[in-house]
Amino acid sequence: MIATESKKQEILKAYQFRRAYKAFDTNKKISDEDFLFILETGRLSPSSFGFEPWKFVVIQNAALREKLKPVSGGAQGQLSTASHFVVILARREKDLRLGSVHVNKMFKDIHHMPEEVVQDWSDFYKSFVETELEDNDRLIFEWSIRQTYIALGNMMTAAAQIGIDSCPIEGFNKNQVTAILQNEGIINGDDFGVACMVAFGYRQEDPKRPQTRQHLHEIVEWR
């Protein structure tokens, strides 16, 4: 029980530590070991149907970061100062269609489902796409993007637990960022689209005021 309480306090302390920093200390770099740990928490994140429809592009090239700045208004300080800068990609709809190479790979090669289980899951997935996503390409891609935010949240929390700061970013032109990544050969054709960005590093100074949030009773309703 004592160990459990200690672990809960450790986790809550990490959430209280975390802030969305717009700029980082350029004199401090995240070690390879620590950043691979952060990426591993993204890799191990859950996803709908276990499809893992994400790709984490770690952009350390200074010239490429500069190319992204004019079309990433919400990442001006982070692109210049982050120890590690990640663009999270989401698989496009064609890769999430039943029978696609990716879906077959996940069912058979990653999850090692027997053929009869693959058939059951395929029927279930087909119904989900037709009813919940209206068999619509745009809705399928948006569903894919939503999965990436699970990995994003886990990576940011894991970073905070080892004293590393982060900042999630949505303030960018998706079409223009996509075009840049296509020109760089990072996105090939229409296999992936841009979901979000996240910067990691170390804060320049401690915050001047404590973290503020609504009270629990304001956001939770029990029935």
Confidence of residue 84 (pLDDT cuts 50, 70, 90): very high
5 in a domain, yes or no?
Answer: no
What is the pLDDT confidence band of residue 210, given thresholds at 50, 70 and 90? confident
In a domain, 136, yes or no: no
How confident is the model over 111-168, as pLDDT tens digits? Answer: 999 999 999 999 999 999 999 999 999 999 999 999 999 999 999 999 999 999 999 9
The pLDDT of residue 189 is above 90: no
Determine the pLDDT at residue 22. Answer: 93
pLDDT at 60: 98
pLDDT in tens, 88-119: 999 999 999 999 999 999 999 999 999 999 99
Q: Is residue 73 included in any domain, yes or no?
A: yes
Residue 199: strand, helix, or coil: strand
User: What is the model's pLDDT at position 2?
Assistant: 76
Domain span including residue 28: 20-94+142-219
Closest CA relative to residue 54, chosen from 140, 150, 132: 150
Strand partners, 212: none
Instruction: Decide if 201 is inside a domain.
Output: yes
Tell me the CA end-to-end span of the chain in Å, nearest whole number: 29
What per-residue string of b and e applies to 178-198 under the rule 16 or more CB within 10 Å gives b?
bebbeeeebbeeeebbbbbbb
Cα-based distances in Å from 134 to 137, 138, 139, 193? 9, 10, 8, 20
Whether 120 is in a domain gets the answer no
pTM for the structure as a whole:
0.95
- Looking at the domain assignment, is residue 1 inside a domain? no
List of residues 6+ apart from 175 with CB closer than 8 A: none
pLDDT digits (tens, 9 = 90+) for 34-55: 999 999 999 999 999 999 999 9
Give the sign of the dihedral formed by CA 72, CA 78, CA 79, CA 85: negative
Can you give the CATH number for the domain in which 210 is found?
3.40.109.10
Any alpha helices (H) in 162-206, and if so which ranges?
174-183
When divided into structural domains, the chain yields a total of 1
**Domain contains 12:** no
Rounded to a whole number of angstroms, the CA Rg of the chain reads 20
Is it the case that residue 190 has pLDDT exceeding 90? no
Q: Would 9 be classed as within a structural domain?
A: no
